[in-house]
Amino acid sequence: MKRRISDEQLVELVEAAIFVADKPLSRKQLKETVLLDINVSDKRLRDALDTLSEHYQTRGVKLVEVGTGYRFQACASLSPWLSNLWQEKAPKYSRATLETLALIAYRQPITRGEIEQVRGVTVSSNIIKSLLERQWIKVVGYKEVPGKPALYATTRQFLDYFSLNGLDMLPELPPQQGEKLDQMLDDPSVREPSE
């Protein structure tokens, strides 16, 4: 027999659970853990989360939904001051790492060879290894070509780290000047004069 609780109690419980959990909590996880023996419909849970989100609108922390679920995080506008709490600054990532990550994020699933094709250089094993260790990327399969290379894709933890709710929230891929290329090829005058 499942227990019943009031809407107010539900909001309190959900709030506390998200605050004390080590990781973001999804609605599914909430229902399977803290709400396991409590009678709560999906709609009521969503309403409770909406209530919480509204409640925190005017506070220093906000309820946000990221890749793996809900978490509270400090308002972005406060970051310049908050960052002084820590002596160590957040790590900087090399261009090689960021370019590799960008290719995996926008072109997933992608093989290492395909990444190298675009970047024009070998992708060092360390980069792939550290991205895997950070759990920002994972192997999602193997391409049906000779050598069966691994296909990489980004993870939900990657979304968490950049506070994104989904891949569609990534900044748009900068446009290529494709039309102009065709023009160039059609225009014989653009051809380099031979000496």
Between residues 4 and 169, which has the closer beta carbon with respect to other proteins? 169
Cα separation, 13 vs 55, in Å, equals 15
Number of residues in contact with other proteins under rule CB under 8 A: 55
- Cβ–Cβ under 8 Å, residues 139 and 152: yes
CA distance 112 to 147: 12
* Binders in 112-141 for other proteins, by CB under 8 A: 118-122
Question: One symbol per residue from 19 to 38: x for binding other proteins (CB under 8 A), - otherwise; what is it?
Answer: xx-x-----x---x------
**Long-range contacts, stretch 58-61, CB < 8 angstroms, 24+ apart:** none
| Residue from 4, 50, 76, 113 in contact with other proteins (CB under 8 A) | 76
Q: How far apart are CA 4 and CA 37, in angstroms?
A: 9
Other Cβ atoms within 10 Å of 72 Cβ, number: 16
Residue from the set 48, 49, 52, 101 that interacts with other proteins by CB under 8 A: 101
Token readout for 117 is 């094709």
Task: Work out whether 3 is an interface residue with other proteins (CB under 8 A).
Answer: no
Cα–Cα distance, 138 to 141 (Å, whole number): 9
Binding site for other proteins (CB under 8 A): 16, 19-20, 22, 28, 32, 61, 71-74, 76, 79, 82-83, 86, 89-90, 93, 95-96, 98-99, 101-103, 105-106, 118-122, 160-164, 170-171, 173-178, 180-181, 184-185, 190-192, 194-195
